[in-house]
Amino acid sequence: MARILVIDDDELVGRTIARVLTRGGHEVVTATGGAQGCALFDAQRPDLVLSDLVMPEQSGVEVVRELRRRDPDMRIAVLTGGESFGVPLIDSLGPLKVGAILRKPFEIADLLGTVDALLAAPAR
Amino acid sequence: MGGNWHEGAGAPDPADRDRLLARAVSATTSGILITAADLPDNPIIYANDSFCRITGYAPGEILGRNCRFLQGPGTDPGTVARIRAAVTEGRGVRERIVNHRKDGSRLCFDLVISPVHDAVGRLRFFVGVQNDVTRQVEAEEALRAGEARLRRAERLEALGRLTSGVAHEFNNALTPILSLTELAVRDVPPGELREDLEVVLRAARAARGVVQRLLAFSRPEPGEMRAVPFAEVVADATRLLRPGLPEGVRLSCPEPAGEFPVLGDRGQLLQLVINLLGNARDAVGPGPGAITLDLAPAELDGLGAEALGLRPGRHVRLDVADTGPGMDAATQEHIFEPFFTTKGPGEGTGLGLSVAHGLVTGHKGAIAVRSAPGKGTVFTVHLPLAAGATDGPEGQSRGEEPRGKETGTADGAHSGDRR
Ligand SMILES: Cc1cc2nc3c(=O)[nH]c(=O)nc-3n(C[C@H](O)[C@H](O)[C@H](O)COP(=O)(O)O)c2cc1C
Ligand SMILES: Nc1ncnc2c1ncn2[C@@H]1O[C@H](COP(=O)(O)OP(=O)(O)OP(=O)(O)O)[C@@H](O)[C@H]1O
Ligand SMILES: [Mg+2]
């Protein structure tokens, strides 16, 4: 049982992930953008963050960078629905020590498996 | 006589003028011919040395013949008809015409023909001037081919933009459909409702598969970048395809002259070859027929690389040839576009070649096709060889930082898992 922060601009995706993780025994808070996500991060101190990659206001890469500044050891996974054309965001994740990349749409077992594996590993 | 002489002190007298003009005719680099209009079939009665040099014929092989011996399979009949009309009517004419040298090679002439009349206005001769414009014509053709390639590339890029945008939206939309249906299936007791939900689940997974193929076309996933022995990949692909081939279809793959290490993703490269082989198999049908693979090194110099839109350097070339029905030019124009198919519903989705194109481009290579109705088809892939090729199949993966675990690839597709 862990506290997990989910950041995805698509509200339906956020709700879906929350539902699956809650059923998996976790406590979930959701945000629809980077600013809200960081505020929730400060207020709730989650054990793990799942952030979408392509978001309108702040990209997932920027959000992760922001979170890393607050907590260099936080467990972070990134979600992606495949990127739009252009400079691939996914390539700039390298130095940000992202624990996993999860592709949407996923099987429930993939989501829970990824989350459990990250939680089992010591926070870095 | 046409032309302009300076009149006055030191001007040559008429006899010298003729001698000087004759010298000019023999000294020019243009071909010059004179034909006798009043002899049967308008034979050549004079050819300057440049004409012989350009065409490769000796004077004895030319004099007394009509000029049409220069024409051949590359000559446009419409151009010949226009010249014939002018010559018949005694008019002058200027045409660009494709001829052949004695050795058969192509020769493009800018040809000017002018009639020469005698004092009483009777047509007596024709003078022909031939300028060799083969190099210009070749340059123009290369430019046109380059422009056509660019247009195609731009069209594919626009389609890529569209499909990747659509794919992104659909992946998000499919997330609740897939996950929440999966949850619901767990909760609902066996019965009709659960069966219905399982159908929804199957459909959602199928949709995910299509979206993934679209993404492979628009922007191949980064995947892994290792030195992959391309010869092994090709062998793997033939091993996978061979069992399904009908009796009458021969699949041959000569022993490759090396490993041909290519920097890339083994799963993606395998997918590429399988897509090409699958199309060749479909083209040949129940047979009899043949699918022939060829794998060879290709050193691309500046010009060869530019023609393919590649960087110069060492490449490996894969040919996949089949004896199927071939394709006309109009079909070839569209085969790399997603969802273009000539196969019946349920037989092809039209994604095979667009995915192949995306994968080849993602590996900094080029794919091209040569085909004609009734003449079979050859797909040619060029891929850059891994530099140095020192690191073996277990060479360094791309990027300094481990990218972490990747999950969630569907339907047993290649997952880039490398913790
Ligand atoms: C002076 C002169 C030069 C010619 N030079 C060429 C030539 O270089 N190449 C060519 O294909 N035809 C040349 N022709 C045209 C052919 O001789 C012939 O007129 C043409 O093929 C059309 O006639 P046909 O349909 O009877 O062949 C020349 C004709 C004349 C009168
Ligand atoms: N070797 C070939 N010979 C003749 N036509 C071909 C060949 N390869 C491709 N084509 C033509 O190009 C079209 C597009 O090929 P592509 O592989 O993209 O889709 P497909 O084979 O129709 O469907 P899919 O590959 O998705 O099952 C084919 O429908 C066919 O008309
Ligand atoms: Mg196909």
> What CATH topology corresponds to A3-120?
Rossmann fold (3.40.50)
For B:95-124, CB contacts with A below 8 A are none
DSSP state of A56: S
Q: What is the pLDDT of residue A1?
A: 84
Q: pLDDT truncated to tens, each residue of chain B (419 aa)?
A: 578 888 888 888 888 998 999 999 999 999 999 999 999 999 999 999 999 999 999 999 999 999 999 999 889 999 999 999 999 999 999 999 999 999 999 999 999 999 999 999 999 999 999 999 999 998 888 888 788 778 877 887 788 778 888 888 899 999 999 999 999 999 999 999 999 999 999 999 999 988 887 777 776 554 667 899 999 999 999 999 998 899 999 999 888 889 999 998 888 899 899 999 999 999 999 989 999 999 999 998 877 787 788 889 999 999 999 999 999 999 998 999 888 999 987 788 888 999 899 889 889 899 999 999 999 999 999 999 987 654 333 333 333 333 333 333 333 333 333 33
**Cβ pair B180:A16 closer than 8 A:** yes
**With a 6 A CB cut-off, is B108 part of the ligand 1 pocket?**
no
**ipTM of the complex model:** 0.89
For B:184-223, CB contacts with A below 8 A are 204, 208, 211, 215, 218-219, 222
Residue type, B106: R
Atom of ligand 1 at shortest range from CA of B67: 17
What would you measure as the largest C-alpha separation in chain A, in angstroms? 39
Tell me which H or E stretch contains A78.
strand A75-80
What is the residue-averaged pLDDT of chain A? Answer: 88
| Position with higher pLDDT, A89 vs B137 | B137
Cα A46-B410-B386 angle, rounded to 5 deg:
100
Q: What is the pLDDT of residue B415?
A: 35
* Residue whose CB lies within 8 A of the most ligand 1 atoms, among B83, B107, B111, for a mutation test: B83
Cα B269-B273-B278 angle, rounded to 5 deg:
145
**With a 6 A CB cut-off, is B67 part of the ligand 1 pocket?**
yes
Residue bearing tokens 């629905």: A81
Domain ranges of chain B: 14-132, 138-219, 222-419
Q: What is the pLDDT of residue B388?
A: 63
**Cβ-based burial of B147 (10 A; exposed 0-12, middle 13-18, buried ≥19):** exposed
The 3-class SS string of chain B reads CCCCCCCCCCCCCHHHHHHHHHHHHHHCCCEEEEEECCCCCCCEEEECHHHHHHHCCCHHHHCCCCHHHHCCCCCCHHHHHHHHHHHHHCCCEEEEEEEECCCCCEEEEEEEEEEEECCCCCEEEEEEEEEECHHHHHHHHHHHHHHHHHHHHHHHHHHHHHHHHHHHHHHHHHHHHHHHHHHHHHHCCCCHHHHHHHHHHHHHHHHHHHHHHHHHHHCCCCCCCEEEEHHHHHHHHHHHHHHHCCCCEEEECCCCCCCCEEEECHHHHHHHHHHHHHHHHHHHCCCCEEEEEEEEEEEECHHHHHHHCCCCEEEEEEEEEECCCCCCHHHHCCCCCCCCCCCCCCCCCCCHHHHHHHHHHHCCCEEEEEECCCCCEEEEEEEEECCCCCCCCCCCCCCCCCCCEEECCCCCCCCCCCC
Q: Which of B361, B406, B407 to mutate to test the interface with A (most CBs of A within 10 A)?
A: B407
Q: What is the pLDDT of residue A98?
A: 84
Please tell me the CATH code under which domain B138-219 is placed.
Answer: 1.10.287
Query: Looking at domain B222-419, does it have CATH number 3.30.565.10?
Result: yes
Tokens of B145: 């081919």
Atom of ligand 2 at shortest range from CA of B324: 3
Q: Which of A75, A78, A107, A111 to mutate to test the interface with B (most CBs of B within 10 A)?
A: A107
- Cα of B95 vs centre of ligand 1, distance in Å, is 10
Which chain B residue has its CA at the smallest distance from A89's CA?
B222
Dist. CA B265–CA B216, nearest whole Å:
13
Which neighbouring-strand residues pair with B366?
A: B382
Which amino acid residue places its CA nearest to atom 12 of ligand 2? B335
Provide the 3-class DSSP secondary structure of residue A49. strand
Report the gap between the CA of A102 and the closest CA in chain B (Å).
Answer: 5
Which neighbouring-strand residues pair with B34?
A: B46, B127
- Return the ligand number nearest the Cα of B99: 1
Please tell me the CATH code under which domain B14-132 is placed.
Answer: 3.30.450.20
Residue type, B118: D
Residues in chain B: 419
Domain ranges of chain A: 3-120
